[in-house]
Amino acid sequence: MSSPALASVAVGRPVRGEFTYLVPEVLRGSLLPGQRLLVPFGRGAAMGFYLGPAVQPEGAPTLKPIQKVLDGTPALPADVLALLRFAAEHYRYPLGEAIRGALPPGLTAAEEAKEAAAEVDRFARALVAGVPDALRRAPAQAAALSYLLAVGGRAPLEEVAHAIPGARETLKKLAARGLVQLEAEERKPGVREGLQQGRPERLTAEQDAAVGALTASLDAGGFAPFLLHGVTGSGKTEVYLRAAEHALARGKGCLILVPEIALTPQLVGRVRSRFGTSVAVLHSALKDRERLRAWQGLRAGEVRLAVGVRSAVFAPVPELGLVVVDEEHDPSFKQEEKLRYQARDLAVVRARNAGATVVLGSATPSLETLENVQRGRYRRLTLKSRVDDRPMPRVELVDLRLVRPRQPTPAPEEPPILAPVLLSAMEETLSRGQQVILFINRRGHSTFLVCEVCGLSVRCRDCDVCLTHHLSQRRVVCHYCGAAGPLPEACGDCGGALLKLGIGTERVEAEVAERFPTARVARLDRDAAGNAERLTELLASFARREVDILVGTQMVAKGHDFPGVTLVCVVLADTSLALPDFRAAERTFHLLTQVAGRAGRGKDPGRVLVQSYNPEAEPVQRTLHHDFDGFAAQELAWRRSLAYPPFTRMAAVRLEGEHPEQTARVARFIGEQVARRLPPASLGVRMLGPAPAPIARIKGKTRWQLLLKGPTHAALAPLLARVEACVEQVPSSVKVVIDVDPGAML
Ligand code: ADP
Ligand code: ZN
C-alpha cells in the first residue's frame, strides 16, 4: 500500500468540516490518528488533529503541507477520537473545537507536550478514625481530615488540595499534631493497595446474579450495554466495584462516571479504598497541572481506572473494558454549553467503539434508557430488594390542602410550614437518636414577595423571574443572574406591605430551629455549601452524626448513604411539577424517589412523609408505592401519544439577543426558513415555535426558541443544516445555538 500523500485534519478553531493538507515526504507513513499537528491556517498557523488519509478534494485547490507533528504518541486514543467525531457530528459542533475541549490544558496549545507526570506522588494518610474534638476551633484542619476520612483514609496531596483550598499547609499542621502522615511514593504502575476496606464478604443473591452477568460479558468481550436497575440501598456500588475488579484483573481499563464528585465523596472513597492509588479522579476543580498529569497517567497506561464527572467520558482510559454510569438519570450528565453532549449517551457510544461492557445504573432509570431496554437494545439487571433484606421506607402523604388552608383574612405570614404529623415524627426520630432529612427544592427564605395591596411581585430588572429573599444575606437575590439588592420595605409601586410567599430552605431551617431548639440543624444548598471545603465538611459531619436534622435542596437527594437517617420529610413535593418542561413529571418522580431512598438504609427502618398540594399527581402517587414500573408505563404512554422523547428525537434552536424586536425578527426568519423545508406531515417531523422561551429574559437578553421533533436524528439533520446556513446571515447581536437532545426546556 502506498503511503497517503494527503491528510484529513480537524483544525482546533471554530470552523466546521475537515481540512486537507499535504503530508511532507518525511512524515509519510508515520502519521497516527489523533496526533496533534501544526498546520498553516488562514494567515497564520493552528493546531490540528490528524484524522486519516484524504483524497484530493474537488476543484483541486492548492494544498499546503503540514508544518510539524506535535506529539509522538497521539494525544487521543483511537476510541476517544472516534467518540469525538461522533459527538461533533451528532451535536453539530466543530470537530477541532470539540477535540480541543476534551484535551487537558497543556495539550490545547499548538506546542509540544511537556511531561507533567512526576516521578513521585505525595500522599496524606489519616492516622485517626475520626475528627478529634481538639480540632473544633480549627475548621480548615477538620475539613481536610474529614476529606481524607471520607475517601478511605488516604489520598494524594494534590487531590486534597484541589478539594480544599490551602490544604497543603493545613495537612502539614495536621501532620505536626500527629493526626496525619505525609508520605511519598514512587509511581508503580497498576499497584493495588492492600486496604480492601469495606469489601463485603458476601453479595446478596441479586448482586451476585448481576455481577455474574457483567463478568460473563467482560469475559466474552465485545460491546454489551446493561441497565442496572436497583432500588435505593440495593448495593449498586458494590456491583460496579466487583465488575471493575474483574475488568482490571483481565488487564482492561475502567471508566466510572458519576454526577458530581463533591456531592458523592463516599463513592470516590469506596473506589479508592478498593483500588488504592491507581485511580484517576477527574473532577471540575482539578488544577491544570493535575488534569494533565491524570491524562498522561491514563494515556501511558500507568493508571487504568478513572472516576469522573461527565467530561471524563473523553478520558483516555487504556484498553477500555468497562464503562459505568452511576445515577444515569441525573440531569448533570448533560453539558449545557459549547459541545452540548449527554455524557450517558456518549458513554454507550464509546463502549460500542471500544467493544466494552457498559452499565447504566439507577434506582430511577431515565425513560430513554428504559425504552432501550424494552426494545431489546439493553439488557436489564434488577436489584429488587435492599441489602440485608432491609425494608423499603414507608412513604406517607400529607395533603397540604387540608393542613394549610389559606386564612380568610390577609395574613402577614403563611401558616406553619410543617404539618403536625411531621413535627411529631421528627420529635420521635430525634428522641431515638436518629437523623432527619428535610427536602425542599428551593434556596433562600421566601421565593417570592408580593404586594398585598396591588399584587405586584418583586422581580429582577434583567430577568423574567421573581427575586428570592435570602434572610442570612439580608438581601433579595436573582437566581438566574445573581443580581442582589436590599430587601424592599414596601411595594415599589403602591407602597403596600409585601407578603413573603414561597418557601425556601432558609425558611424551613429557621422554622426547624425554632421548633427543635436543642436539635443540631444544618442546611445543605448552594448557599450553605458554597465551596468544596464547606460541602465536604457538612456531609462528613452529618455522616458522623454531629447533625440531627439536615435541611436541603436536591443536593440531599443524591446517592448519599447515611445509615442514621430514618426519617425523610418532603416539605413541598410540588415545586418541580408545574415547570413548562415535558420532563417535569419524570424529574419530580426521580427527586421524590431518590430523596425517599435516603431513609432506612441502616439497620433501623425508614419512614418518609411527603407534603403536597397535588396529592393525586402521578409522580406523587407512584412514589408512595415505590412504583417505578407503573410510573414509567404511564409516562411512556403519555410521551408516545404526544410524540416526545424517547419516541421522537428532538433538537432545540435557542436564540439570545440584545434587542427584543430584532431577536423576534431573527427567530421568525429562521422559523420561516425551516418551515419551508419541512417534509410532508406524514413523515412525523414537526416544528414547535418559534416562541419566546419559558423564561423570556435572562441577564437582559431576550430569549426565543424553536423545537424540532422527528422520528430520527437523520430526519432533523437537513433542517438543522438550514438553521446553520441562516446563522451566517444573522446579526452578531443575536446568538443562535443548536441543542440536540436537549435536557432542560427552560
Ligand atoms: P445504592 O447505590 O444501590 O443505593 P449502595 O451501593 O450505597 O446502594 O449500598 C447501600 C449500603 O449497603 C452501603 O452501605 C453498602 O456498603 C452496603 N452493602 C452493599 N452491598 C453489601 C453486601 N453484599 N453486604 C453488606 N452490605 C452491603
Ligand atoms: Zn436576574
Residues 14 and 50 in one domain: yes
Q: What is the pLDDT of residue 95?
A: 95
Answer whether 304 contacts ligand 1 (Cβ < 6 A): no
Answer whether 506 contacts ligand 1 (Cβ < 6 A): no
Closest approach atom of ligand 1 to CA 266: 7
- Whose cell is 485517626? That residue is 128
Q: Which residues surround ligand 2, an ion (CB under 5 A)?
A: 460, 462-463, 478, 480-481, 483
Answer whether 236 contacts ligand 1 (Cβ < 6 A): yes
Ligand lying closest to the C-alpha of residue 463: 2
Residues 538 and 608 in one domain: yes
Q: 286 C-alpha vs ligand 2 centroid, how far in Å?
A: 30
pLDDT digits (tens, 9 = 90+) for 615-673: 999 999 999 999 999 999 999 999 999 999 999 999 999 999 999 999 999 999 999 99
> Mean of the pLDDT values across residues 448-456?
89
From the CB of residue 137, how many other CB atoms can be counted at a distance below 10 Å? 8
Residue where one domain finishes, among candidates 388, 409, 429: 388
Q: 461 C-alpha vs ligand 2 centroid, how far in Å?
A: 6
Residues 516 and 497 in one domain: no
**Predicted confidence band of residue 191 (pLDDT cuts 50, 70, 90):** very low
Instruction: Please indicate, yes or no, if residue 195 is contained in any of the structural domains.
Output: no
Q: Is 61 helix (H, G, I), strand (E, B) or coil?
A: coil
Q: 221 C-alpha vs ligand 1 centroid, how far in Å?
A: 27
Name residues whose C-beta falls within 8 Å of residue 462's C-beta, 6 or more positions apart in sequence.
Answer: 478, 481, 483, 697, 698, 699, 700
Instruction: Please indicate, yes or no, if residue 605 is contained in any of the structural domains.
Output: yes
pLDDT digits (tens, 9 = 90+) for 689-721: 899 998 889 999 999 999 999 999 999 999 999
Burial class (CB in 10 A: 0-12, 13-18, 19+), 195: middle
Instruction: Please indicate, yes or no, if residue 569 is contained in any of the structural domains.
Output: yes
CA separation for the pair 719, 594 (Å, rounded): 38
Instruction: Please indicate, yes or no, if residue 430 is contained in any of the structural domains.
Output: yes
Answer whether 203 contacts ligand 1 (Cβ < 6 A): yes
Q: 238 C-alpha vs ligand 1 centroid, how far in Å?
A: 6
Q: 330 C-alpha vs ligand 2 centroid, how far in Å?
A: 26
Q: 460 C-alpha vs ligand 2 centroid, how far in Å?
A: 5
Q: What is the pLDDT of residue 377?
A: 97
Answer whether 269 contacts ligand 1 (Cβ < 6 A): no
Q: What is the pLDDT of residue 116?
A: 56
Q: Flag whether pLDDT at 507 surpasses 50.
A: yes
Residues 164 and 286 in one domain: no
Ligand 1, atom 19: closest residue by C-alpha: 235
Instruction: Please indicate, yes or no, if residue 110 is contained in any of the structural domains.
Output: no
| Higher per-residue confidence, 743 vs 4 | 743
Residues 163 and 275 in one domain: no
Cell of 156: 494524594
Q: 530 C-alpha vs ligand 2 centroid, how far in Å?
A: 19
Answer whether 559 contacts ligand 1 (Cβ < 6 A): yes
**Percentage with pLDDT > 90 across the chain:** 62
**Predicted confidence band of residue 405 (pLDDT cuts 50, 70, 90):** low
Residues 24 and 50 in one domain: yes
Ligand 1, atom 24: closest residue by C-alpha: 200
Q: What is the pLDDT of residue 190?
A: 36
Q: Flag whether pLDDT at 519 surpasses 90.
A: yes
Residues 414 and 476 in one domain: no
Residues 554 and 656 in one domain: no
* CATH code of the domain in which 85 resides: 3.40.1440.60
Ligand lying closest to the C-alpha of residue 385: 1
> Mean of the pLDDT values across residues 364-374?
97
Ligand 1, atom 17: closest residue by C-alpha: 235
Answer whether 278 contacts ligand 1 (Cβ < 6 A): no
Answer whether 446 contacts ligand 1 (Cβ < 6 A): no
CA separation for the pair 6, 16 (Å, rounded): 19
Closest approach atom of ligand 1 to CA 230: 3
Count CA atoms within 13 Å of residue 551 on its CB side.
27
Residues 474 and 384 in one domain: no
Provide Rg for the chain, Cα atoms. 27
**Predicted confidence band of residue 407 (pLDDT cuts 50, 70, 90):** low
Closest approach atom of ligand 1 to CA 202: 23
Q: By C-alpha distance, which of 719, 698, 717, 714 is closest to 655?
A: 698
Q: Is 214 helix (H, G, I), strand (E, B) or coil?
A: helix
Q: 486 C-alpha vs ligand 2 centroid, how far in Å?
A: 14
Which residues form the domain of 137?
120-186
- Out of 211, 228, 237, give the residue to mutate to test ligand 1, the one with the largest number of ligand atoms within 8 Å of its CB: 237
Residues 353 and 270 in one domain: yes
> Mean of the pLDDT values across residues 353-358?
96
Residues 577 and 512 in one domain: yes
Q: What is the pLDDT of residue 372?
A: 97
Answer whether 273 contacts ligand 1 (Cβ < 6 A): no
Per the prediction, the chain carries an average pLDDT of 89
Answer whether 602 contacts ligand 1 (Cβ < 6 A): no
Closest approach atom of ligand 1 to CA 232: 4
Q: 600 C-alpha vs ligand 1 centroid, how far in Å?
A: 12
Instruction: Please indicate, yes or no, if residue 197 is contained in any of the structural domains.
Output: no
Ligand lying closest to the C-alpha of residue 701: 2
pLDDT digits (tens, 9 = 90+) for 145-172: 888 887 778 887 877 877 777 888 888 8
**Predicted confidence band of residue 406 (pLDDT cuts 50, 70, 90):** low
Q: Flag whether pLDDT at 182 surpasses 80.
A: yes
Closest approach atom of ligand 1 to CA 237: 6
Report CA 138 to chain centroid distance, whole Å.
Answer: 32
Q: 515 C-alpha vs ligand 1 centroid, how far in Å?
A: 34
CA separation for the pair 103, 106 (Å, rounded): 8
Residue where one domain finishes, among candidates 479, 502, 525: 502
Ligand 1, atom 2: closest residue by C-alpha: 236
Cell of 704: 426565543
Answer whether 232 contacts ligand 1 (Cβ < 6 A): yes
* CATH code of the domain in which 670 resides: 3.30.70.600
Q: What is the pLDDT of residue 318?
A: 95
How many residues would you count in the chain?
A: 746
Count of domains in the chain? 6
- Out of 239, 362, 387, give the residue to mutate to test ligand 1, the one with the largest number of ligand atoms within 8 Å of its CB: 387
Instruction: Please indicate, yes or no, if residue 107 is contained in any of the structural domains.
Output: no
Q: What is the pLDDT of residue 192?
A: 41
Q: For residue 46, give Cα distances in angstroms to 41, 49, 111, 723.
A: 6, 10, 10, 28
Q: Flag whether pLDDT at 310 surpasses 90.
A: yes
Instruction: Please indicate, yes or no, if residue 108 is contained in any of the structural domains.
Output: no
Answer whether 233 contacts ligand 1 (Cβ < 6 A): yes
In this prediction the pTM is 0.89
Q: Kindly list the strands in the beta sheet with 607-612, ordered across the sheet, starting from the edge strand earlier in the chain.
A: 394-399, 607-612, 565-570, 435-439, 549-552, 521-524
pLDDT digits (tens, 9 = 90+) for 84-136: 999 999 999 999 999 999 998 878 777 776 665 554 567 888 888 888 888 88
Q: What is the pLDDT of residue 125?
A: 87
* CATH code of the domain in which 633 resides: 3.40.50.300
Q: What is the pLDDT of residue 194?
A: 39
**Predicted confidence band of residue 188 (pLDDT cuts 50, 70, 90):** very low
Ligand lying closest to the C-alpha of residue 466: 2
Ligand 1, atom 25: closest residue by C-alpha: 200
Cell of 31: 502519521
The answer to whether 608 and 393 are in contact (CB under 8 A) is yes
Q: What is the pLDDT of residue 60?
A: 65
Q: 724 C-alpha vs ligand 1 centroid, how far in Å?
A: 49
pLDDT digits (tens, 9 = 90+) for 273-309: 888 768 898 987 788 888 888 898 999 999 999 999 9
Q: What is the pLDDT of residue 669?
A: 95
Answer whether 208 contacts ligand 1 (Cβ < 6 A): no
Residues 209 and 351 in one domain: yes
**Percentage with pLDDT > 70 across the chain:** 95
Residue where one domain finishes, among candidates 638, 659, 683: 638
pLDDT digits (tens, 9 = 90+) for 31-73: 999 999 999 998 899 999 999 998 877 776 788 999 999 988 8
